[in-house]
Chain A
Amino acid sequence: MRRAWVCALVLASCRTGAREDSGAPRITVGSKSFTESVILGEVVAQMANWAGARVDHRRELGGTKLLWSALLAGYVDVYPEYTGTIAQEILGKSGIRGDEAIRQALAERGVVVSASLGFNNTYAIGMRRAVADRLGIRTISDLARHSELRFGFSNEFMDRADGWPALRNRYHLPQQNVSGVDHDVAYRGLQSGAIDATDLYSTDAEIRYYQLRVLEDDLHVFPEYRAVVLYRAQLKDRAPEVLRALSRLEGAISEDQMMAMNARVKLDRVPEPSVAADFLDEKLGVHGEVREETLVSRLLRNLKEHLFLVSLSLLAAIAFSLPLGVLAARWPRLGEIVLGVVGIIQTIPSLALLVFMIPLLGIGARPSIVALFLYSLLPIVRNTYSGLRGIPIEIRESAEALGLPRFARLRLIDLPIASRSILAGIKTSAVINVGTATLGALIGAGGFGQPILTGIRLNDVGLILQGAIPAAALALLVQAVFEVAERALVPRGLRSTPSS
């Protein structure tokens, strides 16, 4: 993390892995923000570390698009992915099908796909084991003989063409009682007997918890989502020993083993690094290195990361917006354009903005700071503009009539009179910035967004609060600081309301 700080501070080109220190290759591993991906990322990271690489695991990044962009741009060297996702989401538009064609298409982009890690995490149909045993159901075909069964499917599964519609047509399922429910509700419905079967992912931790049977997709309706590792082709030259180690993972993880690891993390609350280390130890005899962080040191790290994101982006935004607001107030036509543009920036979804910036800025603090900077512009520009435009004409003309040059008028008259409005804009920006900085977690910049993201993933309210409460407290603190600053900076003559 210190490295990331220094990198961002000097804004040096620090593409991870571009340099090799003391002979050990640097490898950046990525993972998506769901538990299985984080576990697999940790497995890959520990394996690479065992093979002698210096490894940085950027966990819980904000989704397929983001990781794929980061991989292409070289900010991530390797990350776990699924064949179905590669075919559907990554190469979806090009219409490429078949393993060899996919391999070819990825190779053209400088990316290599490993062989399957051994399990397929796809849609599956699950029933309570006791019910399935009683009715003698082992495969999805068996369901056709029991038209009285009630199904509760997630809404996505109900809607997707390769979900329930495909399943019903292919297996000629006669059930009439089929409803769309939330995933978590479905599990509880199964337990209470309100429904008999639901869709799930074949490695879900809940399979063990609710004692479910995963029915065999004997007609192969569901697409394959075999777990693989995607890595940059140049690793072959740069870190061949790491690739040799990673190849040991191929075929090494069964569906049951993955499910067990998911369950240990999600149900037993064991940290992913420990789960990954245990797996490598038992299965491959590899002793990974697990570093545990105490609560306090993690909070301090999050605070440091958060303050770093906020302070740098806010300072830059002030330095940029203030002159921009002055120019906008000076030339109203330009002002309309400026206000329009910064207003539009405000409406860009943060994830889209981050993905867009990866080729330029990579992952981590830099793109987060730029995104926060952009989101901080509007309140400062607008308040500077309106503060200056709001100065009565007789005040402006009185200043002009004195014979003060333009810049002196701005410094001695206009800015002090507009100071209250400008400061309010900066305060708004700062408070919003503290909240928005949680998005940094989506792109590996840490901050209080990290525990929030992890907490959401693990359905752990305590963890969510570890991020949410300090972030809220920080926002209040910032607000208070600005109120004190207002007292010091806004001239006394402007503070009290004029008497009539």
Chain B
Amino acid sequence: MAEGKFLFEVTGVSKRYGSCTALEPTDLRIPGGKTTVLIGQSGSGKSTLLRLMLGLVQPDSGRVYFDGAELAPQNLLALRRRMGYGIQGGGLFPHLTASGNVSLMARYLRWPSERIELRLSELVELTQFPRDGLGRFPHELSGGQAQRVSLMRALMLGPEALLLDEPLGALDPVTRYELQADLKAVFEKLGKTVVLVTHDIGEAAFFGHLLVVLRQGRIIQQGTIEELVRAPADPFVTRFIRAQRNPLASVGPQAP
């Protein structure tokens, strides 16, 4: 086992929901300090794989290791505090303000309030969230702001890994575009291990050092975007890459 090099190790993990197989027995290693993108269509098992890595879902078979430790009921809470999790729409707690959402866990762990304040300031800066928005409730935030709050919440305790499930899924194109750039800047600045789930190949290519393509509960190829384009392991990979249309291609040459 290559400890240190791989932050997550998934061995022989499978998951069924009733008669429906969400994930066939799967092995995967997530390299530390890089951004790995799980990509596939709806129902490909990419979200299930991510949630298995967080212990939100218990595998039917196989094991999940985080930093060399197997995920088990007795260490799950402690390990989760070393991971940050963000989802489509933000998943913010509606009864708490933005700062309430972000600092919930730190307050639970009885951080001194100065430390919380300091950390909040850092995060506001990092995510470019408007400071006066901290007192707002989730329903008073725009989609992009909610996503930034969600990111701050995930980063609050300074986790080693960031697991994001379609973080930009529910946003309009302009906001999405802006946030993609900001998010990538954050990833690069922090140098953390990031696992990101998306169905958008463009987004995957934009973020990912390593792309993992899933189809019907199976990993069919992993590699860089260049490798996927140059040497697709399966006709599906090619189809999947081609299926993402570039709207500009049909328009012809663009104005400078």
Binding site for B on A (CB under 8 A): 394-395, 397-405, 408, 412-413, 416-417, 419, 491-494, 496-499
How many angstroms from the CA of A399 to the CA of B56 in the assembled complex? 10
Binding site for A on B (CB under 8 A): 51, 54, 56, 76-81, 83, 85, 87-89, 91-97, 104-105, 108, 137-140, 153, 163
Residues of A within 8 A of B108 (CB): 404, 408, 412
How many angstroms from the CA of A405 to the CA of B93 in the assembled complex? 16
A493 touches B104 (CB 8 A): no
Contacts A401-B83, A496-B139, A497-B139 given; 8 further ones with Cβ under 8 A? Answer: A398-B91, A400-B56, A404-B77, A412-B108, A417-B93, A491-B95, A493-B138, A493-B139
Given B51, B78, B93, B138, which contacts A403 in the complex, CB threshold below 8 Å?
A: B78
How many angstroms from the CA of A401 to the CA of B88 in the assembled complex? 14
Query: Would you list the 8 A-B pairs with minimal beta carbon distance, nearest first?
Result: A493-B137, A401-B85, A491-B95, A403-B80, A498-B139, A398-B91, A403-B81, A394-B91
Please report whether the interface of chain A is mostly helix, strand, loop or mixed according to DSSP. helix
How many angstroms from the CA of A394 to the CA of B169 in the assembled complex? 14
How many angstroms from the CA of A269 to the CA of B255 in the assembled complex? 101
Q: In the complex, what's the smallest C-beta–C-beta distance from A406 to chain B, in angstroms?
A: 9
A493 touches B96 (CB 8 A): yes
Once A403-B80, A403-B105, A499-B140 are accepted as A-B contacts, the answer to whether A493 and B94 lie under 8 Å apart by CB is: yes
How many angstroms from the CA of A395 to the CA of B85 in the assembled complex? 12
A416 touches B104 (CB 8 A): no
Residues of A within 8 A of B76 (CB): 403
Which residue of B has the minimal Cβ distance to A413? Answer: B93
How many angstroms from the CA of A497 to the CA of B108 in the assembled complex? 28
A398 touches B85 (CB 8 A): yes
Q: In the complex, what's the smallest C-beta–C-beta distance from A141 to chain B, in angstroms?
A: 82
Residues of B within 8 A of A399 (CB): 93
How many angstroms from the CA of A404 to the CA of B87 in the assembled complex? 17
Residues of B within 8 A of A398 (CB): 85, 87, 91-93
A403 touches B77 (CB 8 A): yes
Once A496-B139, A498-B139 are accepted as A-B contacts, the answer to whether A404 and B96 lie under 8 Å apart by CB is: no
Given B89, B105, B140, which contacts A394 in the complex, CB threshold below 8 Å?
A: B89
Once A492-B137, A496-B139, A499-B139 are accepted as A-B contacts, the answer to whether A404 and B93 lie under 8 Å apart by CB is: no
Residues of A within 8 A of B89 (CB): 394
How many angstroms from the CA of A232 to the CA of B104 in the assembled complex? 66
Once A416-B95, A499-B139 are accepted as A-B contacts, the answer to whether A397 and B105 lie under 8 Å apart by CB is: no
B97 touches A397 (CB 8 A): no
Given A397, A419, A494, A499, which contacts B91 in the complex, CB threshold below 8 Å?
A: A397
Q: In the complex, what's the smallest C-beta–C-beta distance from B111 to chain A, in angstroms?
A: 14
Q: In the complex, what's the smallest C-beta–C-beta distance from B20 to chain A, in angstroms?
A: 17
Given B88, B94, B137, B139, which contacts A417 in the complex, CB threshold below 8 Å?
A: B94
How many angstroms from the CA of A404 to the CA of B96 in the assembled complex? 16
Residues of A within 8 A of B95 (CB): 416-417, 419, 491, 493-494
Residues of B within 8 A of A497 (CB): 139
Residues of A within 8 A of B138 (CB): 493, 498
B93 touches A401 (CB 8 A): no
Once A397-B87, A412-B104, A493-B97 are accepted as A-B contacts, the answer to whether A405 and B77 lie under 8 Å apart by CB is: yes
B140 touches A397 (CB 8 A): no
How many angstroms from the CA of A398 to the CA of B102 in the assembled complex? 12
How many angstroms from the CA of A409 to the CA of B210 in the assembled complex? 35
Which residue of B has the minimal Cβ distance to A404? Answer: B108
A-B contact pairs, 20 of them (CB 8 A): A395-B94, A397-B85, A397-B91, A398-B87, A398-B92, A398-B93, A401-B85, A401-B163, A402-B80, A402-B81, A402-B85, A402-B105, A402-B153, A403-B78, A404-B104, A404-B105, A405-B77, A412-B104, A492-B137, A493-B96
How many angstroms from the CA of A400 to the CA of B93 in the assembled complex? 12
Which residue of A has the minimal Cβ distance to B88? Answer: A394
How many angstroms from the CA of A401 to the CA of B55 in the assembled complex? 8
Q: In the complex, what's the smallest C-beta–C-beta distance from A419 to chain B, in angstroms?
A: 8
Q: In the complex, what's the smallest C-beta–C-beta distance from B21 to chain A, in angstroms?
A: 20
A402 touches B87 (CB 8 A): no
Residues of B within 8 A of A419 (CB): 95
Which residue of A has the minimal Cβ distance to B100? Answer: A493
How many angstroms from the CA of A497 to the CA of B138 in the assembled complex? 11
Q: In the complex, what's the smallest C-beta–C-beta distance from A64 to chain B, in angstroms?
A: 54
Residues of A within 8 A of B81 (CB): 402-403
B51 touches A397 (CB 8 A): yes
How many angstroms from the CA of A398 to the CA of B137 in the assembled complex? 17
Q: In the complex, what's the smallest C-beta–C-beta distance from B181 to chain A, in angstroms?
A: 25
Residues of B within 8 A of A405 (CB): 77
How many angstroms from the CA of A404 to the CA of B163 in the assembled complex? 17
How many angstroms from the CA of A492 to the CA of B104 in the assembled complex? 17
Which residue of A has the minimal Cβ distance to B93? Answer: A413
Residues of B within 8 A of A491 (CB): 95-96
Q: In the complex, what's the smallest C-beta–C-beta distance from A209 to chain B, in angstroms?
A: 66
Which residue of B has the minimal Cβ distance to A497? Answer: B139
Residues of A within 8 A of B163 (CB): 401
Which residue of A has the minimal Cβ distance to B76? Answer: A403
Once A408-B108, A498-B139 are accepted as A-B contacts, the answer to whether A401 and B56 lie under 8 Å apart by CB is: yes
